Structure 1
């Protein structure tokens, strides 16, 4: 019988982030991550399918949280207001996670493979949100536009948040990004001259 390994997943996650930051994603192996965490390579593969999943293992939970938060908003809310409420709820998942998020983002931005994987995650998230909006009775193209806009707001706000020192909450950056989007969308100029 194998011995119990307390917080193996968290230890592997931190060891991977540290090694990716020190050596780079491509130069780090699963065996090195396990060794840094004080665990076996077999334990690594019990928790993660490959070394990318250390960074993306929470993607399905994030998607579930986004969908649940959107589904829980009042059906009478306008789609963009439902999305704003959803973003406020999601921001709470990142409380006390600034340093982890900052370190993870730096690793992702340093690797084309990881940037591509992050974009795939965001596209999947947008598709799930659009489907949720359609179930709420929002027609196309409004459902897809709202979902894509919500993900854009999340992405831009998140990137601004990790680029700061962590003194301000993610929710503030998301609100600011949403306000900017509303200004852009509300502009009747849109690059056209007035007559």
Structure 2
């Protein structure tokens, strides 16, 4: 592959996932990833801080999409309805093309303790992004924390279900998960 070819970021992502799958996460170096992609280490570091970021680099996009969806919800929307708007906006990222990469990524993360911890931190950051967006809508802090935590649980449940079924619609899965959680919360008494 020539170094001048487009899509360097995507090439690095694909090469990373291939190598992590073949050799294991710990046994793969940045130099090997760059070489597999037909790029230099220097190019790798233009796109990613380290090899973990290949697996977690989309955080800013998810934060932004959740915020846009919550902010764009109708003024009269309940906090959970606004969170549902965030889930619908985020669903655009989870298409058939992303599915194969996400499935590989999930296997790699699940097999490595440090990466699972990083995944938890990512979830915490999503909760905070949603909470801040809800607070900007005038939602009281405790309610915003609860709604954003429920939103994060719905997101996680939808993601797990989506990973298992390539043909599944992420928005429908997220809406169903949010409805299940809303119903379960009502049963807490």
TM range (shorter): over 0.9
Write the mapping of 1:58-97 to structure 2, written as runs, cut at 5 A. Answer: 58-96=58-96, 97=98
Contact 2:79–2:147 (8 Å) recurs in 1:
yes
Structure of higher CA gyration radius? 1
**Structure 2 Cα separation of the partners of residues 52 and 5 of structure 1:** 24
1:172 deviates by 2.1
**Structure 1 Cα separation of the partners of residues 141 and 40 of structure 2:** 49
Q: Which runs of 5+ in 2 are unaligned?
A: none
With structure 2 as the length reference, what TM-score do the two structures score? 0.93
Write the mapping of 1:56-135 to structure 2, written as runs, cut at 5 A. Answer: 56-96=56-96, 97-135=98-136
Q: Give the corresponding residue for 1:38.
A: 38
Q: Which runs of 5+ in 1 are unaligned?
A: 191-195
1:140 deviates by 2.4
**Structure 2 Cα separation of the partners of residues 140 and 70 of structure 1:** 15
1:148 aligns with 2:136: no
User: How many residue pairs were aligned?
Assistant: 186
Cα RMSD (Å): 1.4
Cα deviation, 1:62-118, whole Å, max 9, x if unaligned, reads 111111111111121011111112211211111222111111111111111111111
1:186 aligns with 2:183: no
With structure 1 as the length reference, what TM-score do the two structures score? 0.90
Q: Give the corresponding residue for 2:161.
A: 160
**Structure 1 Cα separation of the partners of residues 24 and 5 of structure 2:** 27
Question: What SS class does the counterpart of residue 184 from structure 1 fall into?
Answer: helix
